[in-house]
Amino acid sequence: MSGRGSGRADQPWNVRPWDGRPPTLKPIADSDASNAAEFTPPRLGYVIIYVNDVPEALRFYGKAFGLPTRFLHESNQYGELETGGTALAFASHALGAANLAVSLPEGYQPVEPAGRPFGLELSLTVADVPLAYQRALTHGGIGVTEPTIKPWGQTVAVVRDPFGLLVEIGTAINE
């Protein structure tokens, strides 16, 4: 048995009995120390979601969560929201297909409003989860999980956006 919670001493995380606090992660040693000084780890710059209506995606996230539009290309095929250090961006399915035509000729699995959601959540941190959850519902989100307090103290709710993506609305952990 392996994975989180297996209790094995060789795991890269600190496994301890549940005491109401999130686990403390230990860094994994760099297996290629010869070039460690030359390597700069990346930072997450963009999350790009392919949708069928980029201006509508910008509108929903702007109205529901107060995220201002940073950029919308005149073609309406690409836009970004101001979200802090990492940009939340939307691109049209047509642009996604064009960008990936050579490397993925079979295409990608689009997020759809109907059917089962992807095994992925976009997580937005807010101070007032019930208020943000209600705003998301008011502006076209579909409720999945009402605001709930997790065992580690974080308040979390989940909606599906109008395009079918799961959006977690939560307080920051350790607040």
Element at 138 (helix H, strand E)? helix 129-138
* Rounded Cα gap, residues 174 and 78, in angstroms: 35
Instruction: Check: pTM over 0.85? Answer yes or no.
Output: no
Domain with CATH 3.30.720.120 in the chain: 43-110
The fold for domain 43-110 equals: 3.30.720
Q: Which CATH superfamily is domain 115-175 in?
A: 2,3-Dihydroxybiphenyl 1,2-Dioxygenase, domain 1 (3.10.180.10)
Domain with CATH 3.10.180.10 in the chain: 115-175
Q: What tokens appear for 150 in the block?
A: 């997790």
Give pLDDT tens digits for 58-85.
999 999 999 999 999 999 999 999 998 8
Pairing outcome for strands 78-81 and 69-72: antiparallel
Is residue 28 within 8 A of residue 44, CB to CB? The reply is no
Give pLDDT tens digits for 42-54.
989 999 999 999 9
Q: What tokens appear for 51 in the block?
A: 């949708």
Edge-to-edge strand ranges of the sheet holding 155-160: 121-125, 166-170, 155-160, 142-149
Does pLDDT of 1 surpass 70?
no
